[in-house]
Amino acid sequence: MSKKSAAESKQRARTVYQTLRRCYPDAHCALEHRDAFELLVATILSAQCTDERVNKVTPTLFKQCGSPAAMARIDRSDLEELVRTTGFFRNKAKSLQGASTVIVKEHGGQVPDTMDALLTLPGVARKTANVVLGNAFGKNVGMVVDTHVGRLARRLGFTKEENPVKVEQDLMALFNQRTWTLLAHLLISHGRRVCKARRPDCAACKLLDLCPQVGVD
């Protein structure tokens, strides 16, 4: 990519970001939480599950085990029942207890605030780590790439990649680091409300003039 085209791509990225901010001034993390541990738990539960469902489950869950120590010692079968409706409940319960145990034993009961440390926790990959770092600690270390972010990044022509890690790298190269956490929320909001997977509402899209509409039927 030439210097001119790279500069043009970054300028378009800035304009997209500014437009989305105007469209979705209320964009924020949809997973309800009060601290880093609650966000970590909610994010693990959100895998292949809606945020709405997770938010229905977590209030009762946190009443019974709202700390890493409590989560680590609760009976596994009881934990499975508490998270059953989020799907894949056995694996999720195992991850929650595994992560909680490591947090208690190796981090003094506090959720770590670095990418390397978070990635050592059972059930935590880059996406989950980015959610926690960006929203609980205010650290823009990387970008959350879920199905909405990936889809919009491709449709907007910011990437050709399917692999979330490669999509993340392409987006990080285009957008200012300070915007990464909010940008993910903005793209998710747009993906849910306008640029939907099956029937994107291009006629109502404020990004239409900026979008090459890659992969839009």
Q: Please identify which of the residues 51, 139, 146, 166 carries the catalytic annotation.
A: 146
Under the phi-then-psi rule, with left for phi > 0, alpha for psi from -120 to 50, and beta for the rest, what region is 182?
alpha
Q: Report d(CA 92, CA 128) in Å as an integer.
A: 13
What is the sign of the dihedral through the CA atoms of 87, 88, 91 and 95?
A: negative
Report whether 208 contacts 202 (CB < 8 A).
yes
146 is catalytic: yes
Eight-class DSSP state of 213: -
d(CA 70, CA 79): 11
Which residues are annotated as catalytic?
127, 146
